[in-house]
Amino acid sequence: MFEVSDDQYVLKNLSVHRAENEEDALNLLFIGDTNRVVSETPKNDASTRSHCIFMIQLETQKMGEDVKTTSKFHLVDLSGSERPSETGIDGKTLEEAKKINLSLHFLA
């Protein structure tokens, strides 16, 4: 998920893709969504067990000019934060919940 060293956070399993048009960007968003991990818990039939971060960087430049304008948008969908004591989960799902809650702490 992530590593912490020298006050730096390194996120694992991230990828960067270039989208030349809206269709490419929507396809990448769909691929990211379908790769999310979902698991059933006693309180939620489809609890997301992974975070999804979709960053859009737009670059514009007027014809005949050297100046570029760059804008960034971050769309973030965090996995569900559940109190393990209230959900009745155990085993692998309990370990996932602990890691999710810890990662939410670092992302804050």
CB 50 within 8 A of CB 39: no
pLDDT computed for residue 14 by the predictor: 77
- pTM, two decimals, is 0.57
pLDDT computed for residue 5 by the predictor: 61
The per-residue pLDDT for range 1-15, each reduced to its tens digit, is 555 566 666 777 778
Q: In the chain, where are the structural domains located?
A: 2-107
pLDDT computed for residue 97 by the predictor: 72
Alpha helix ranges (H) inside the chain? 22-34, 84-87, 91-107
The per-residue pLDDT for range 13-58, each reduced to its tens digit, is 778 888 989 999 999 989 888 877 776 666 667 666 667 778 888 8
pLDDT computed for residue 62 by the predictor: 93
pLDDT computed for residue 4 by the predictor: 56
Mean of the pLDDT values across residues 60-77?
90
Select from 88, 87, 13, 105 the least CA-distant residue to 50.
13
CB atoms within 10 A of CB 27: 13
